[in-house]
Structure 1
Amino acid sequence: MLYDNFKPIVDTIFNNWTALQLAVEQGMGAPGGEKTAQLMSVYVARYCVENVVDVDELAEVLEDLMDEEFDTACHDNSPKEIAIVLLNFLELLKAGHYDEVRNRMEALPPCQKWLSTPIQTEVPPQSHGNPDDDTTSSSSDEEQNDVNGAVGAPTNGAVPMEEDEVGPGWTLVRTRRKK
């Protein structure tokens, strides 16, 4: 039951996550990015419900998923922001504060539901690295994609993002700080 209540929240938060949306839209990683994002949502919801997870651990799982599934590195701290939001909702659900969950969900900024109805009958992605493994694979021969994004309203004094064209087919997204 906790999973059934938490999964739609994960979907909504992922629909608001600009980095994930850009990775899917730009065709990062393997073909079928939208389906991969749907399966990622299933995996994250199950992972949170079935394990005792802290913010840093979940942020690392999200970073691993973005890297391994979409060849995307988020240098904007958005995986940690997503982890904080998801775990706050999960704690409210566990405590039975359903009215508070509903109020917070309604307070989220409206978003385009770019993820279609998730496919829950399939097995979620399995190979996402070990959260306890601090090693990262990086090679100067590989292109590393830098995508920035955040969920909901910026919480660190940032204002909406601006986009700069950096080459054919590539868009560099940066946050602007309030002055």
Structure 2
Amino acid sequence: MEHTKSFFLTVTQRIFSNWTALKLAVEHGMGSVEKAVEFCPYTTEVLYMNEGLTSDQIAAELEDYMDEQLNTILEDDSTVQVAEELLRFYRYCMEGNESTAKTELEKLPPLQPWLTCERPVRSTRPLPLKEDSSSDEDMDVDKNEQENDGWTVVTNRRTK
């Protein structure tokens, strides 16, 4: 397949949008929808950057992300099931088996709207928390920086 990575990202989004544990973690406030959306390209990169991963290794990576980014410890075997599905499609992509990959993708449940993202996903990392307390005036400015389209303008408040 010519664009296997973008196709695989589509597969990952479809699988993750139907993963009950991930959806429940977001619904119960354990993590944001943004963290769940970022999980898709993160997982795609993990598979494409590491050759020869087993489903157990992928499942361990999924568990780590759920724990670290979504504050969720899974006690079921869903990570193994998700990892096996991801690995199956990854192999189709690597073998260039486009027709099988597309046929199997159509057999998956449809993409659920809770995990869709209109904007391109950017890789982000958490910033260290400021230890000094902010004044009430700073907090009012932060609230006013929220724009209508959902983006927040972040400015550097470091004193020189």
TM-score (norm 2): 0.71
* Number of residue pairs matched by the alignment: 123
Aligned to 1:34: 33
Give how far 1:99 is off.
1.1
Q: 1:125 to 1:80 in 2, by over 3 A?
A: farther
Q: Deviations over 1:117-152 (max 9, x none)?
A: 2654511558xxxxxxxxxxxxxxxxxxxxxxxxxx
Aligned to 1:60: 60
Matched, 1:43 2:42: yes
Give how far 1:27 is off.
0.8
Matching of residues 84-123 of structure 1 within 5 Å: 84-117=84-117, 119-123=119-123
Matched, 1:23 2:37: no
Whole-angstrom CA distance in 2 between matches of 1:49 and 1:118? 23
Contact 2:16-2:40 at 8 Å conserved across structures: yes
Whole-angstrom CA distance in 2 between matches of 1:7 and 1:101? 13
Contact 2:58-2:83 at 8 Å conserved across structures: yes
TM-score (norm 1): 0.64
Contact 2:13-2:111 at 8 Å conserved across structures: no
Give how far 1:39 is off.
0.9
Highest Rg: 1 or 2?
2
Contact 2:14-2:110 at 8 Å conserved across structures: no
Choose between structure 1 and 2: higher helix proportion. 2
Contact 1:34-1:115 at 8 Å conserved across structures: yes
Whole-angstrom CA distance in 2 between matches of 1:36 and 1:118? 15
Contact 1:40-1:124 at 8 Å conserved across structures: no
Matched, 1:78 2:78: yes
